[in-house]
Amino acid sequence: MSKLNPSDSPVHAGHSHPPVSPWALFSLLLMLFLAAIDTTILSTAMPRIVELMGQPELYHWAFTSFMLTSTLALPFFGRMADQIGIRRCMLVAGSIFLIGSAVCMLAPTMLALILGRALQGLGAAGLQGLPMIAFGVLFPPEERGSKQSLISMVWGFSSLAGPISGAWLVSYLSWHWIFGLNVVLALLALIIFWVSFPRQEARPAGARMDYLGAFLLIFGLGGFVLMTSIEGLPGLAYIPVVILLAAFIWRQRTSPAPLVPLHPFSKLAYRTACLLGFVSNFVGFSALTYIPFYLQQVQQLSPEASGIVFTPMMLAWPIASALAGFWLNRLGFRSLCLIGCGFLVLSMAAWSAIAGSLPVPGIILWCICLGLGMGAVTAPLLIAAQTVVARNEIGVASATLVLLRNIGATLGVSLMGVIQVQTQPTLGLQHSLMAVFIGLFGFSLTALISAFVMPSASPAELQLTATEHQILTH
């Protein structure tokens, strides 16, 4: 039996967690906020930007370019965080985001703006994923719940502040200030981070980057994201993308230095967390896309009124996530996941049963249930994924989970869009949306069933179980 290296064990000794100053936490959360708000702040500002700059046919590429590069870069930042350290990766990501923001601020044309958005997305991948990885490395499992809840609160606040601040800036100042403020705040966050974040020694890169795997991932996943943004593509068009992704999975099984290691999926808690992350985002973000469509097209609510109706849900999401983080040690993973998935099922059951106009109190109630469900599963799934892997794999394990969440969201919106468009000519608008909600109800039931497989243990208990299993296998 070989000796287990403590540095590779899921058990992280107390001395391996360096002291973290409040300023370091603040800088992490500020950079996360910048990346998070950048996904929503343009939603209310882009119509005015297109009006001023022209080329409306490029409208959606301001969003697609950001989504594409931020999705593709996630596993790379996860792998590099394990190899060269979080500090260096965050400084690189923040610098790329700052440069991209400056390009957007000075953009004279839509093409230049799209290029800046693509650069922003590259940096935002690190700013979104690295704080989650940092909290997994800097804090023991029993403290991660409360710390990860801060991340959810930042996401919740940014989802509220983004559209409002974007509309205010473009109406009263200039759309250039949307990106100008990013430059100022990103520079401030980088300075604070550079001064306050613990200086960790870089881990030696045991093997070279898997360039073939990177090629297959970029073109396979990149092609998938791009194709989901193009309407009317036949199903056969996805065959080359499927082949590339299958080749990527095969490469990860055979490569000595895989970009996305597959062996963590041998752990039940990890693969269940990834499945639940994929399905919950499939349901949640599809609902976030088509509920406002229902409110404005069927209920005939104005955009402002539908935004007000949606506000309680956007508040429920971070509140539920924060509470789940604090209650995780007491209730365990399975209970919280069952509660969250139960709220998702309840919300989607209500929306799939709509037969006419819903009263506003009912809309608010079912939206709140959706927010509670999404919030309750966010932190437990990430903490479970981080707890059952070795410390030197927390980065790539976290990035893989976030990547699967993003793919679930993208695939959900795309597939539900196909259902809505294909059924509307025969069923009409309202009943085509009912078909969408019925489909989401089915996926939410899948999530609820999967939640029963999650371990009932607390983070500390799950860590102990994972360590004992690793000792036996070594």
Q: What is the pLDDT of residues 94-132, one digit of tens each?
A: 999 999 999 988 888 888 888 998 899 889 888 887 887
Structure tokens, 272? 């269940």
Same domain, 309 and 432: yes
Mean pLDDT of 348-366: 79
pLDDT of residue 8: 40
Are residue 435 and residue 322 in the same domain, yes or no?
A: yes
Residues 289 and 162 in one domain: no
Residue 127 lies in a domain: yes
Q: How far apart are CA 339 and CA 79, in angstroms?
A: 32
What pLDDT, in 10s, does the model give residues 206-218?
A: 456 677 888 888 8
Average pLDDT over residues 438-447: 93
The radius of gyration of the chain from alpha carbons, rounded to an integer in Å, stands at 22
Extended strands (E) in 74-193: none
DSSP character at residue 299: S
Q: Token digits for 352?
A: 């799939």
Residue 221 belongs to domain spanning? 210-258
pLDDT at residue 448, as a whole number: 94
Q: Residue 182 pLDDT > 70, yes or no?
A: yes
Predicted confidence (pLDDT) at residue 443 exceeds the cutoff of 70? yes
Residue 156 in tokens: 């919740």
36 and 96: one domain?
Answer: yes
What confidence tier does 356 reach under pLDDT thresholds 50, 70, 90? low
Residue 271 resides in a domain = yes
Q: Kindly state whether residues 51 and 194 are assigned to the same domain.
A: yes
What token pair was written down for 317? Answer: 């999401």
Into how many domains does the chain fold? 3
- Residue 295 corresponds to which tokens in the numbers above? 């409110």
Which of 24-33, 386-395, 411-420 is predicted most confidently? 24-33
Q: Select the more confidently predicted residue: 228 or 379.
A: 379
Say which DSSP state 388 is in.
S
Is residue 345 over pLDDT 90? Answer: yes
The pLDDT value recorded for residue 230 is 67
| pLDDT of res. 15 | 42
Q: What span, in angstroms and rounded, lies between the C-alpha atoms of 392 and 333?
A: 23
Residue 88 CA, distance from chain mean position: 22
What burial class does residue 17 get, using C-beta atoms within 10 Å of its C-beta: 0-12 exposed, 13-18 middle, 19+ buried? middle
